[in-house]
Amino acid sequence: MNMQLVTGNHAAGHSMSLAAEANRNARGSVCGIYPITPQTEIVEFVARYPFSKGKVIPVESEHSAMGVCIGASLNGARSFTASSSNGLAYMTENIVVAAFYRLPIVMAAVNRTLGPPWNIWADQGDSLMFRDFAWIQLYCDTNQDVADTTLLAFRLAEDKRVMLPVMVCMDAFIVSHTSMEIELATQDQVDRFLPDCKVPHRIDPSHPVTVGGMTVPQDTLTHRIELDEAMRQVPAVLEEHRARFKEIFGREVSGALTVYRTEDADRIFIASGTISISLRDIVDEWREKGEKVGMIKVKQFRPFPCEQLVELCRGASRIGVLDRNYSAGTGGIFWQEVKSCMQGQGEQMIQGYLLGVGGGDVVPETIREVVDDLGNRNAVASPIWKGIEQ
């Protein structure tokens, strides 16, 4: 076992580099990189990695970092990058291109509050901006999860049934900068897990095509429907590759949803990222008091695992959704998704809670208040803000 004490950033950099190296017998790997706190260490890790067939291009902006990945991927290389917060915002135009060109690019997104005002702490509002552009999004909760999900992301993105980019998201600092002892993959394992990267529509001088020319609306509609079909493949394909991951690495990598003590629960809490780790302990506390409380961790935000969630929540009368993000004028974004899934499913109370928006620390006591609140509540209210100093 290759146990090491590493940060979340190191875990992401390590897995990306091994994945890149694993493509050395095919067309190699190329990535564009640009720094921004708190993801900088990922691109620094990649920049010093001794690839046998790879090139790292330190560009002048995130827009160009994704531009390089687009060109490289369309020329058949394995491609990846990392960014965060305003860097993601600056990259937006090319983030859209990556998905609409069906490029299997993997990007680590370290969730940091969007500025202004400027603040580097954890908030998922940056990557959630991209929920509507056919990127698969996986939210991780631990360093091990980051290391493993990054590898899984390449396998999923490059699967020909999918051919879509994947964002591997993690909370700023709580994951990116905190060291944990985790099991790191070896090159031999990654070589076995990841087949050569094949981009079927890569450019080829003997068969000249124009990628991304004009279309009439009808053809664009067909394109969007194809994106939808690819997205719908994700749940089954992810499960297949999780199984293969377990065979090769001897451990589980968590899937779309992680369910905890929901069997007979009348109250279910839904959360993602590091909040879900603290929530788990609080669920245990309530269970010890004999209360029927359970939780679901959502990792796969896109495509959103609606049907599974509806099924899992069927027996619960109250559902609390904890969001570390906020869509102005509405509420938390996971809460919105859960609500739209549950529409027409019965009389469940679905209450939204906003925790750690803008990067505040989410301590167990705050989560206890949330669990209490859902139990005592008579009617659903608009999303409840936590962490406001009185």
Partner 1 sequence: MNAANPEYMSPDCLLRPGNTNCGGCGMSTGLTMLGRALASERYSMVIPACCGIVAAGAFPTTAYNVPVIASTFASSPAVASGVAAVNELNPGKDHRPNHVICWAGDGGTYDIGMATLSAAAERNEDLIYICYDNEIYGNTGGQRSSATPATARTTTTPGGKGETKKEIIQILAAHHIPYAATLSIAHPEDFQAKIQKAIGIKGFRFFLIHAPCPTGWKTEPAESVELVRLAVRSGVFPLYEVFNGVDYRINVEPDGTDPAVYYAKQKRFSGQEINLERVKTSLKRKNRRLRELASLSR
Least distance in angstroms from the C-beta of 215 to partner 1: 4
Near partner 1 by CB under 8 A: residue from 11, 18, 19, 70: 70
Q: Report the distance separating Cα 29 and Cα 303, nearest Å.
A: 27
> How many residues line the site for partner 1 (CB under 8 A)?
44
Distance of CA 142 to the CA centre of its chain: 12
- Cβ atoms of residues 170 and 273 within 8 Å: yes
Least distance in angstroms from the C-beta of 168 to partner 1: 20
Q: Which stretch binds partner 1 (CB under 8 A): 74-82, 137-145, 157-165, 367-375?
A: 74-82
Q: Report the distance separating Cα 207 and Cα 204, nearest Å.
A: 5
Residue closer to partner 1 by CB (options 220, 340) is 220
If one counts every other C-beta atom within 10 angstroms of the C-beta of residue 379, the result is 6
- Cβ atoms of residues 334 and 137 within 8 Å: no
Least distance in angstroms from the C-beta of 105 to partner 1: 10
Q: Beta strand 318-323 with 349-354: parallel, antiparallel or unpaired?
A: parallel
Strand partners, 167: 107, 137
Q: Report the distance separating Cα 45 and Cα 38, nearest Å.
A: 13
User: Under 8 Å CB-to-CB from 256, ≥6 apart: which residues?
Assistant: 235, 238, 298, 299, 300, 305, 308
Per CB under 8 A, 181 contacts partner 1: no
Residue closer to partner 1 by CB (options 91, 114) is 91
Strand partners, 68: none
Site residues for partner 1, window 96-115 (CB under 8 A)? Answer: 97
Per CB under 8 A, 57 contacts partner 1: yes
117 phi and psi angles, rounded to 5 deg: -70, 160
Per CB under 8 A, 205 contacts partner 1: yes
Least distance in angstroms from the C-beta of 289 to partner 1: 56
Per CB under 8 A, 226 contacts partner 1: no
Near partner 1 by CB under 8 A: residue from 8, 13, 32, 359: 32
Per CB under 8 A, 50 contacts partner 1: no
Near partner 1 by CB under 8 A: residue from 68, 190, 271, 367: 68
Residues found near partner 1 in the complex (CB under 8 A): 27-28, 30, 32, 53-55, 57, 59-61, 63-65, 67-77, 79, 93-94, 97, 201, 203-205, 207-216, 219
